[in-house]
Chain A
Amino acid sequence: MRKIWLIIKREYLVRVRKKAFIVMTIVGPLLMAALMIVPTYLANESQELRTIAIEEDGFEFSNQLEDTEFLHFSKIPTEEATLLKEGFAESAYYALLHIEGENFTLYSYQQISLSVSNNIENQLEQIIEHQKLKAAGIDLATLASAESTVHITTKIISEDGNTSSSQTKTSMGIGFVCGILIYMFIFMYGTMVMRGVIEEKTSRIVEVIISSVKPFQLMMGKILGVALVGLTQFILWILLTFVIASIAEFAFMDASSMTTELNSEQQSILLSEISRLTEGINLVQIFISFIFYFLAGYLMYSALFAAVGSAVDAEADTQQFVLPITIPLILSFILIQPIMENPDGPLAFWMSIIPFTSPVIMMVRLPFGVANWELALSVGILIFSFILTTWFAGKIYRTGILMYGKKASYKELLKWLTYKN
């Protein structure tokens, strides 16, 4: 036990101290925060007052175009418009709108911002629509009163007859995020285990170590050490993303002189909104299941990755063995979308039972509600296959790490399984 602990400690510390780990830990949340903040920032930034010149015979449109907070319209005579077209850059105008019947052209000396052209387009469309409605004899007031919105409330009736609200969109969101996280974790850290095994083999230290510890201890120590690295990284990401996002949010909100403080009424609305959105979703069950599938899925796959690492001499040789391992993983990733659309179909059912796809797929299904026996079956099978694959991987590993310069084939691997200790 002391030895396996020493191995876990080494595997963990060596990786956590690496520059790549530190960089990834900082850059990851920065990227995520950027994804959240940049769009808001850009939207705020482009808002400066712009004046659009209008050239039109008559006043049909120019009178009806309304100034907005950031757009100002001003009609100019034709002569001035001609002059303007020759020396745009020096003028105070941002663009020139040329109207001829129902043909509209926007001139500018620079690329016109999308929001400006959208705004003008929308206004013009509305003006024309209203004209047409008027011509058809429809009063605008009547039209306004005819406008209506519908919100469908979906409810789930459980086996014992209780009804609860269902929140399809929230379910999809939670399922998607959980599925993707598990997929990423297994992939990133499974291959990290594999590279670690190859490193020990190519540096020829492995035989030195297994004269002190059992090969299985070395393999499990590495797998658990890397699991801790992964957990550390994810926890740091979540914390840092939260910190960076809130700092940045605060800074930007302040700059654009908006109040970030929510008063108590708004806060209670927000809270009740959150509880409404997650109503009918068993968050505790999802959290516990997430941790379970996260770890069990990783342990099962990383044992296989370790076995692959032991069978080859260099990372370049791993392809033929890695592919069959990653196919079910990639398949479950691809099928997240279709399964979210039909979370109770046969495809969803079977893929959440088969252990190689269940860690990702069951997490996608869970927020939609899964029968207890299905969950129990899936968990049971996953535990059983985790033990089986670890045993199987351990056997290959034990033989593989001492084989040098031999290109292993599948036939060879099968033979290793029959070797006694």
Chain B
Amino acid sequence: MTESIFIAKDVVKQYGDYTALNKVSISVPKGSIYGLLGPNGAGKTTLLRIINQITAPDNGSLIFDGEPLQYHHIADIGYLPEERGLYKKMKVGEQALYLAQLKGMSYTDALEKLKFWFTKLDILDWWNKKVEELSKGMAQKIQFVVTVIHEPKLLIFDEPFSGFDPINAAIIRKEILELSKKGTTIIFSTHRMESVEEICDHIALINKSKTILEGPIEEIKKQFTNNSYEVITANKELSENDYFSIISRKDTTFSILLKEGKTQQEALQSIVKEVEIISFKKEIPSMEEIFIKAVNNA
């Protein structure tokens, strides 16, 4: 069992009569890329605000890096909220310095690190420009820099790629992966499940204020994978036999389900005897399908 950088246990948060989080528990392993998934309004942002101590939970315990979450942990967390922006009338460099210092950095330290990042992302020319002169994508780059500038142990991105063009999104994705390699734990929060499927190694699914699934992505996928296969034949009919039954078909693409106690080998051999096979593969559900299943099962 790997160590966790952040653990939330039975967190409850209510706004008047509305319950935003109902006994939500998550555990974020150190060094992981953790996907916090769920539809809009599920309570993701509330949970993130609780991690950032913007709001406090009504109930439940929070552990950060082995100790109860405290105010000074703010310096160890970097947060890029979904509703993000910058002072429009302020100059880029001055503003980045201000935000970095608010995170607890000294002026000289902040200046040095900012120059490094601005050079790395090739945006040093903007230092003396006002934010209102920048495009939305440019402003997002600056927001990214000020989120990571204080080298936090935990980085939290809420819908990070909305508003980026594909090129800039790729640049930011590369930077995030690089930070992850250096040991930073990363939490992605998004309602677009397909966008994080490929980079996350752990996920939590939140729906209607509750966690309905949590764990390493492979385990979850395994859990939702049954013995069904996709078979594509060369224009031939496929008929059920003792080894499998057919769930659905579309032209020459069949979805088959192994019968109780039969193996993949047996089924494949039985098919090969009858028809020519173009493709035979195990059906692995997408995150979206898992999510829909999980919601229906709950």
Contacts and interface: CB of A to CB of B under 8 A. Distances in A.
Interface of A: 3, 6-7, 10, 14, 199-200, 203-205, 207-213, 215, 402, 404, 415, 418-421
Among A199, A212, A404, the most chain B Cβ lie within 10 Å of the Cβ of: A212
Nearest to A204: B85
Interface of B: 15-16, 49, 52, 54-56, 58, 74, 77, 79-81, 83-90, 98-99, 101-104, 143, 146
A203 B131 CA distance: 11
A209 B102 contact: yes
A259 to B, nearest CB: 52
Given A6-B102, A212-B74, A207 B87 contact: no
Contact of B16 (A3, A14, A212, A418): A418
A209 B85 CA distance: 10
A97 to B, nearest CB: 65
Contacts of A207: 54, 81, 83-84
Contacts, number: 62
B84 A204 contact: yes
B99 A208 contact: yes
- Pairs of residues from A and B, 7 with the lowest C-beta to C-beta distance, nearest first: A204-B85, A421-B56, A212-B102, A207-B81, A211-B79, A203-B85, A211-B52
Contacts of B90: 14
24 contacts: A3-B102, A6-B98, A14-B87, A14-B89, A14-B90, A200-B87, A203-B87, A205-B84, A205-B86, A205-B87, A207-B54, A207-B81, A207-B83, A208-B81, A208-B99, A208-B143, A209-B99, A211-B79, A211-B81, A212-B74, A212-B104, A415-B16, A418-B16, A419-B15
A404 B45 CA distance: 13
Contact of A6 (B16, B49, B101): B101
B81 to A, nearest CB: 4
Nearest to B143: A208
Interface of B is mostly: loop
A421 B55 contact: yes
Contact of A208 (B56, B74, B84, B101): B84
A209 B102 CA distance: 8
Contacts of A213: 102
A98 B58 CA distance: 94
A282 B62 CA distance: 59
A10 B99 CA distance: 11
Contacts of B56: 420-421
A415 B18 CA distance: 12
A211 B100 CA distance: 12
Nearest to A399: B15
B49 to A, nearest CB: 8
B108 to A, nearest CB: 15
Contacts of B54: 207, 210-211, 215, 402
B143 A212 contact: no
A7 B87 CA distance: 13
Given A14-B90, A205-B87, A212-B103, 14 more contacts: A6-B102, A7-B102, A204-B84, A205-B84, A205-B85, A205-B86, A208-B84, A208-B86, A208-B99, A208-B143, A209-B102, A211-B54, A402-B49, A404-B83
Contacts of A415: 16
A212 B74 CA distance: 6
Contacts of A211: 52, 54, 74, 77, 79, 81
Contacts of B74: 211-212
Nearest to B80: A208
Contacts of A421: 55-56
A204 B102 CA distance: 17
Nearest to B17: A415
A400 to B, nearest CB: 13
A10 B49 CA distance: 25
Nearest to A415: B16
A29 B85 CA distance: 38
Contacts of B83: 204, 207, 404
Contacts of B49: 402
A208 B54 CA distance: 10
Nearest to B103: A212
A207 B49 CA distance: 9
Contacts of B80: 208
Contacts of B88: 203
A24 B27 CA distance: 56
A352 to B, nearest CB: 39
A167 B89 CA distance: 51
Contacts of B146: 208
A356 B16 CA distance: 30
B84 A419 contact: no
Contacts of B102: 3, 6-7, 209, 212-213
Nearest to A412: B16
A309 B148 CA distance: 30
Contacts of B85: 203-205, 208
A211 B150 CA distance: 13
A205 B132 CA distance: 13
Contact of A212 (B84, B87, B99): B99
Contacts of B104: 212
Among B54, B77, B84, the most chain A Cβ lie within 10 Å of the Cβ of: B54
A200 B90 CA distance: 12
Contacts of B55: 421
A203 B95 CA distance: 13
A419 B99 CA distance: 28
Contacts of A418: 16
Contacts of A215: 54
B98 A10 contact: yes
A420 B58 contact: yes
A203 B79 CA distance: 17
Nearest to B88: A203
A203 B74 CA distance: 23
A195 to B, nearest CB: 12
B257 to A, nearest CB: 47
A30 B15 CA distance: 53
Contacts of B79: 208, 211
B75 to A, nearest CB: 8
A8 to B, nearest CB: 12
A208 B103 CA distance: 10
Contacts of B15: 419
A225 to B, nearest CB: 13
